[in-house]
Amino acid sequence: MDLVPALEEPLKKVLGPPTAKVMAEHLGLHTVGDLLHHYPRRYEERGQLTHLADLPMDEHVTVVAMVADARLHTFASSKAPRGKGQRLEVTITDGSGRLQLVFFGNGVHKPHKELLPGTRAMFAGKVSVFNRRMQLAHPAYELLRGDSEETVETWAGALIPIYPATAKLESWKIGKAIQTVLPSAQEAVDPLPDTLREGRGLVALPEALLKIHRPHTKADIEDARSRLKWDEAFVLQVALARRRFADAQLPAVARRPGPDGLLTAFDARLPFTLTEGQRKVSKEIFDDLATEHPMHRLLQGEVGSGKTMVALRAMLAVVDAGGQAAMLAPTEVLAQQHHRSIVEMMGELAEGGMLGGAEQATKVVLLTGSMGAAARRQALLDLVTGEAGIVIGTHALIEDKVQFHDLGLVVVDEQHRFGVEQRDALRGKGKQPPHLLVMTATPIPRTVAMTVFGDLETSVLDQLPAGRSPIASHVVPAADKPHFLARTWERVREEVGNGHQAYVVCPRIGDEEDDPKKAGKKKSPEDEAEKRPPLAVLDVADHLAKGPLQGLKVEVLHGRMHPDDKDAVMRRFAAGETDVLVATTVIEVGVNVPNATAMVIMDADRFGVSQLHQLRGRVGRGSAAGLCLLVTEMPEAGAARQRLNAVAATLDGFELSRIDLEQRREGDVLGQAQSGARTSLRMLAVIEDEEIIAEAREEAVTLVAADPELEHLPGLRTALDALLDEEREQYLEKG
């Protein structure tokens, strides 16, 4: 992180090319600094030095003793039937008693050469009993050459760091490499300002690095960890605070809606009243739009809390004030859906320049990659002339060819599929930076929002609009109780019989070519445990149409269909012509069919918690109650089932996202959430370390306000350069 000349030294110079190559390829470590920041995962205690006379059973002990004798025996066994098995028995003594060591198989050669009678060594292992005699099987040992008391003491009492390792490089080899570079830690430049460090009682960085790699006590580890967590939280928060600070310096056009314009006309048309939450969040947004700095706001809301309505009112306010608004959706299906629902909500207000259009009306255009050339040309023309006040599209909106007359607001839907660089590219479309509203239906715990989207202000919609129905969720253990699965399909038939519709979601499409590259790979034990490939849309749809749901109209929807076909399927489903839609997660976001009341998720254990919550939000959108059935073959006691039980037990997305995070590593969270966010939180756990993150944010804001260029903090600047450099690199790698 804090790369200064001594720490910038390439590892191949210090450790030699072969080791350096393995470290670079398998662990991503290139410099001395990288290696110093490769922290131990945990620590083993070698046990205190123990007298052979009072060895405790089943404990890990370390003894210093002398080899009394060593014998190699051969024996026959099932693995070595011809008497080729080898067993080395070594007897050691420390004056207080004797102990036997045993080594088997290929493990006998090295100790047979090294453990000669008269040799002194330290032995560490677990005490067991064989033939009523105590023994250590395959102990680790270190020969003591030159009888130095110091070696004995340091080796025995030490906490042994266990590093994240690879098959090519064992933890103790990494440990040795770190011992080689540890003296350089003295030259680590501290990124934390002295006042902050002293005020919070944190140890200096060189000391923290020393203590994390060579702790004498558990207190050393604690000191080092609290210090290194602060580093990560603080440097990240400073990066985000500087970004916010820089954005606040940018000029933007204030957009205030007129008193009797488009927004007023739209509100008058609404057949319902806005919820308290929608009004509160709208006010926050309108206040931001009225300032001469670009708004940067994250709008989080439960599935179905009415985020689209809030975003649409913000877009209408900007159009009222003479600007244009763009809404970006992650997929074409979603862009088409938003376009259709916005045009429906606006009615004649969306028919600007057309017969029958209202006088305050504007034009709402759709722009996606698969549009025909003529339609696309017309849409681009409407944007450049300002004829279209609102455009809805996919990433195609970011292309160079797309020009706006006066872009005032960008709304990004489903932020976690959208990176920082893409946000920047779109912001560059305005004459001055446009205001930005980012929406997500995956509730993000506050700390994660602060860590990942710390450059955005946050608004939360946590009320559901009136008329929304509760969703009952149940886990269906298909393997333990097959009759539950049969009952599942009966329930679907009942819903359809009552005039409703249902979704069946599967993890896979089913027309995938078998990838020869993947076929050759060794399977992990988890894969072996799940021998059966995930259920596929095409197979399940076929099975249902011919079997349990025979006679119902069943259709399929997945990401590899032609956009027109997808749209046609969705239209038929929305119109109620299809009873059951068997789909992949393309329906996860934004699909709105109030008449769909039931959802069956097959192989539900293959989805993440937040994803299941998202999917479930597609039912119960009308006045009839929703039902979500999570089908799984996983055993009752396993983690997968606990996860599903958690989803079935609560409809609170914020609660679920915490559970989700606690089960996954933060790296995933940060990696998915922003292409290019630093995913290398080595010490910081976003949920556990909430307080540190919140405090680091306060410190960072104060510091950046006082010294935006960090002129007085060269160490912090260096650390930031390293962080942001990594961010750029990672973004480029992701392409």
The model's pLDDT over 464-518, given as tens digits with 9 standing for 90+, comes to 666 667 789 999 998 888 899 999 999 999 999 999 999 999 988 876 654 444 4
Geometric angle at alpha carbon 611, from 608 and 616, rounded to 5°: 125
Distance in angstroms (rounded) separating the CA atoms of residues 643 and 609: 7
Beta strands in 522-618 (DSSP E): 554-557, 580-583, 596-601
Which 3-state string (H, E, C) describes 240-282? HHHHHHHHHHCCCCCCCCCCCCHHHHHHHHCCCCCCHHHHHHH
Bridge partner list, 31: 10
Q: Show Cβ contacts of residue 6 under 8 Å, excluding neighbours closer than 6 positions.
A: 32, 184, 187
Distance in angstroms (rounded) separating the CA atoms of residues 48 and 338: 67
The mean-pLDDT minimum among 97-111, 509-523, 710-724 falls in 509-523
pLDDT-based confidence at 529, cuts 50/70/90? very low
Three-state DSSP state, 356: coil
Distance in angstroms (rounded) separating the CA atoms of residues 211 and 221: 6
Distance in angstroms (rounded) separating the CA atoms of residues 72 and 107: 12
Q: Show Cβ contacts of residue 197 under 8 Å, excluding neighbours closer than 6 positions.
A: 190, 204
Q: Which residue has the tokens 């395959």?
A: 138
Mean pLDDT of 95-119: 87
Distance in angstroms (rounded) separating the CA atoms of residues 633 and 635: 7
Closest to 65 in 3D by CA, of 99, 89, 114: 99
Residue 591 · residue 439 · CB < 8 Å: no
Token readout for 101 is 């060591």
pLDDT of residue 405: 92
Return the H-helix or E-strand segment holding 13.
Answer: helix 11-15
Write phi, then psi, for 85 (nearest 5 degrees): -65, 145
Distance in angstroms (rounded) separating the CA atoms of residues 564 and 496: 26
Residue 345 · residue 265 · CB < 8 Å: no
Token readout for 460 is 């939360």
Mean pLDDT of 114-123: 87
pLDDT-based confidence at 604, cuts 50/70/90? very high
Residue 618 · residue 581 · CB < 8 Å: no
Check whether 657 has a pLDDT greater than 90: no
Distance in angstroms (rounded) separating the CA atoms of residues 490 and 244: 54
Q: Kindly list the distances between the CA atom of residue 704 and the CA atoms of 205, 235, 701, in Å, as whole numbers in the listed order.
A: 21, 12, 5
pLDDT of residue 141: 83
Distance in angstroms (rounded) separating the CA atoms of residues 8 and 25: 18
pLDDT of residue 291: 93
Which of the pair, 636 or 103, is modelled with greater confidence?
103
Residue 537 · residue 506 · CB < 8 Å: yes
pLDDT of residue 514: 46
pLDDT digits (tens, 9 = 90+) for 167-218: 677 666 788 889 889 998 898 888 899 999 999 999 999 999 999 998 988 9
pLDDT of residue 56: 73
CA-based end-to-end distance of the chain: 24
Mean pLDDT of 93-106: 85
Token readout for 515 is 């990838």
pLDDT-based confidence at 551, cuts 50/70/90? very high
Amino acid sitting at position 572:
R
Closest to 329 in 3D by CA, of 441, 251, 230: 441
The mean-pLDDT minimum among 50-54, 159-163, 295-299, 488-492 falls in 50-54
Burial of 690 (0-12, 13-18, 19+ CB in 10 A): middle
pLDDT digits (tens, 9 = 90+) for 675-688: 333 345 677 777 77
pLDDT of residue 44: 66
What percent of the chain has a predicted confidence (pLDDT) above 90?
Answer: 31
Q: Which residue has the tokens 């862009």?
A: 335
Does the pTM surpass 0.85? The reply is no
Q: Are strands 580-583 and 501-505 parallel, antiparallel or unpaired?
A: parallel
Distance in angstroms (rounded) separating the CA atoms of residues 458 and 447: 11
Which of the pair, 532 or 392, is modelled with greater confidence?
392
pLDDT-based confidence at 246, cuts 50/70/90? confident
Distance in angstroms (rounded) separating the CA atoms of residues 418 and 401: 20
What rounded mean pLDDT belongs to the chain?
81
Please report which residue ranges of 510-583 form alpha helices under DSSP H.
Answer: 516-520, 525-529, 537-546, 563-574
The mean-pLDDT minimum among 15-24, 214-223, 344-353, 695-704 falls in 344-353
Task: Please count the residues of the chain.
Answer: 735
Amino acid sitting at position 503:
Y
Residue 364 · residue 342 · CB < 8 Å: yes
Distance in angstroms (rounded) separating the CA atoms of residues 55 and 128: 10
Return the H-helix or E-strand segment holding 474.
Answer: strand 471-477
pLDDT of residue 104: 85
